[in-house]
């Protein structure tokens, strides 16, 4: 089954053809990140205007890369939310038009679930995650710990939210602290790069011992919720109060504080729910330090869980993950019934 995925929830315009939910035949992502780096963040109106221009060429490119034609496609999958309303509408209206024009079924997809399914891409059928499973979805707008009790068939009875951020998302904390430090947008990759420079100068033992400048919010709370806005304020206060600072060290400090909380809370959830698989997902899972610390903790605590994380290019927003989620948990609907839904959550609370 070949699905055309379309993704426009934030500033990317993406299209991809995926076979049977796992094999990426083409994956095109156009980003207006340079424009947003000039304004220090995304201005939604500007993002949507760029997406209108990019949408059709991106779909054409995704088709051309495979030499497949409209008649070879079995369904069209599109992100309906969460995201920016103007941006979502570009993808949704395009998908509806193509669905009507090509008489293909349309599959609405929750962007956060799609992040989880990035873990299914480029993997053999016998290597896919087994259930029950937990996933930490860490993106620019969300930080969600979710539990999945069985092999995905119907979204509504297999995913439950067990914890979430009470204020800023982890990615947002990377982006906002990077701005405070003058490192540019998007902040996650900028912080990771500076932090790497700093960490490369230290040996392993030294690395963690020294990095304790900033608080680890809610790390000891007996729930699975997160909070990152206080950390952002601590960084702001520190920068205001100190005259000279080493930005590479501060980047490493910020990264370590975020990573420590994400790892600690997730490991505690793994101990409680004893899942067979743990899937890291969302743009922040492109962070090497986060992946490395998860691997170390799982090994050190001899946890019997298989750890999955997506390739970095599939961790951040892309349309292959949309097509994959559509294949495994999507439901065909009539194009008339598809609408953008900017505020939807990954799932209901457990
Ligand atoms: O999932 P995503 O591409 O878009 C949303 O759905 O929000 O996530 C984007 C977020 C941004 O906050 C970005 O700074 C962060 O992911 N990010 C990273 C890294 N690469 C992207 N954060 C930390 N380290 C990275 N290497
Ligand atoms: Zn995303």
DSSP string for 41-101: S--HHHHHHHHHHHHHHHHHHHHHTTT--GGG--EEEEEEESS-HHHHHHHHHHHHHHHHH
- What is the tally of structural domains in the chain? 2
Nearest CA to 119 out of 318, 279, 283, 1 is that of 279
Residues 99 and 23 occupy one common structural domain: yes
Ligand 1 neighbour 192 (Cβ under 6 A): yes
Q: Write out pLDDT tens, residues 305-324.
A: 999 999 999 999 999 999 99
Ligand 1 neighbour 82 (Cβ under 6 A): no
Residues 172 and 280 occupy one common structural domain: yes
Residues 139 and 60 occupy one common structural domain: no
Neighbours of 124 (CB within 10 A): 8
Assess whether pLDDT exceeds 80 at residue 234. Answer: yes
Residues 325 and 285 occupy one common structural domain: no
Above pLDDT 90, what percent of the chain? 85
In a domain, 65, yes or no: yes
Q: Which protein residue has the closest C-alpha to ligand 1 atom 23?
A: 188
Residues 137 and 65 occupy one common structural domain: no
Q: Which of 171-180, 188-197, 328-337 has the lowest mean pLDDT?
A: 328-337
In a domain, 237, yes or no: yes
Assess whether pLDDT exceeds 90 at residue 34. Answer: no
Ligand 1 neighbour 81 (Cβ under 6 A): no
Contacts of 203 (CB under 8 A, 6+ apart): none
From CA 76, how far away is CA 274, in angstroms rounded? 36
- 306: domain CATH number? 3.30.420.40
Residues 100 and 132 occupy one common structural domain: no
| Nearest ligand 1 atom, CA 258 | 23
Q: Write out pLDDT tens, residues 130-186.
A: 999 999 999 999 999 999 987 666 555 678 999 999 999 999 999 999 999 999 889
| Nearest ligand 1 atom, CA 174 | 14
| Nearest ligand 1 atom, CA 178 | 14
Ligand that lies nearest to the alpha carbon of residue 289, given by its number in the listed order: 1
From CA 62, how far away is CA 53, in angstroms rounded? 16
Contacts of 67 (CB under 8 A, 6+ apart): none
Residues 172 and 297 occupy one common structural domain: yes
- How high is the mean pLDDT of the chain? 94
Looking at residue 350, its pLDDT comes to 77
- Strand-strand pairing, 2-7 and 75-81: parallel
In a domain, 345, yes or no: no
Q: Give the distance (Å) from ligand 2 centre to CA of residue 326.
A: 16
Residues 257 and 299 occupy one common structural domain: yes
| Nearest ligand 1 atom, CA 316 | 3
Looking at residue 335, its pLDDT comes to 87
Residues 113 and 141 occupy one common structural domain: no
Contacts of 101 (CB under 8 A, 6+ apart): none
The parent domain of residue 286 ranges over 128-310
Q: Residue range 190-215: average pLDDT?
A: 86
Substitution candidate for ligand 1 out of 171, 311, 318 with most atoms within 8 A of CB: 171
Residues 140 and 264 occupy one common structural domain: yes
Q: How does residue 87 score in pLDDT terms, banded at 50, 70 and 90?
A: very high
DSSP readout, 45-58? HHHHHHHHHHHHHH
In a domain, 198, yes or no: yes
* Prior bond of 8 cis (ω within 30°): no
Cα dihedral value 92, 166, 329, 336, nearest 10 = -30
Q: Give the distance (Å) from ligand 1 centre to CA of residue 310.
A: 13
Residues 210 and 87 occupy one common structural domain: no
Residues 56 and 138 occupy one common structural domain: no
Q: Which protein residue has the closest C-alpha to ligand 1 atom 10?
A: 140
| Global confidence as pTM | 0.96
Looking at residue 289, its pLDDT comes to 98
In a domain, 274, yes or no: yes
């Amino acid at each position: 089954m070949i699905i055309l995925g379309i993704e426009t929830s934030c500033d990317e315009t993406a299209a991809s053809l995926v076979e049977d939910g796992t094999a990426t035949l083409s994956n095109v992502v156009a980003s207006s990140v340079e424009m947003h780096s000039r304004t220090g963040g995304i201005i939604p109106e500007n993002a949507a205007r760029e997406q209108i221009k990019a949408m059709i060429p991106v779909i054409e490119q995704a088709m051309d890369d495979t030499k497949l034609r409209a008649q070879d496609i079995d369904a069209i999958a599109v992100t309906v939310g969460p995201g920016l309303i103007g941006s979502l509408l570009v993808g949704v209206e395009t998908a509806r038009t193509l669905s009507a024009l090509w008489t293909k079924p349309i599959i609405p997809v929750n962007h956060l679930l799609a992040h989880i399914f990035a873990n299914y891409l480029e993997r053999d059928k016998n290597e896919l995650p087994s259930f029950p499973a937990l996933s930490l979805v860490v993106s620019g707008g969300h930080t969600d710990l979710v539990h999945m009790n069985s092999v995905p068939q119907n979204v509504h009875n297999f995913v439950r939210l067990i914890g979430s951020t009470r204020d800023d998302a982890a990615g947002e904390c990377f982006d906002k602290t990077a701005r405070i430090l003058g490192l540019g947008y998007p902040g996650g990759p900028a912080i990771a790069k500076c932090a790497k420079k700093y960490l490369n100068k230290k040996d392993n033992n030294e690395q963690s011992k020294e990095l304790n400048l900033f608080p680890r919010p809610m790390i000891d709370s007996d729930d699975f919720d997160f909070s990152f806005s206080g950390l952002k304020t601590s960084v702001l206060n520190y920068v205001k109060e100190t005259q000279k600072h080493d930005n590479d060290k501060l980047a490493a400090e910020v990264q370590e504080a975020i990573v420590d909380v994400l790892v600690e809370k997730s490991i505690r959830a793994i101990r409680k729910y004893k899942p067979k698989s743990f899937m890291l997902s969302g743009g922040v899972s492109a962070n090497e330090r986060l992946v490395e610390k998860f691997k170390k903790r799982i090994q050190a605590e001899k946890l019997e869980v298989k750890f999955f994380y997506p390739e970095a290019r599939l961790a951040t927003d892309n349309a292959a993950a949309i097509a994959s989620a559509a294949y495994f948990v999507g439901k065909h609907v009539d194009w008339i019934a598809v609408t953008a839904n900017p505020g939807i959550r990954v799932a209901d609370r457990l």
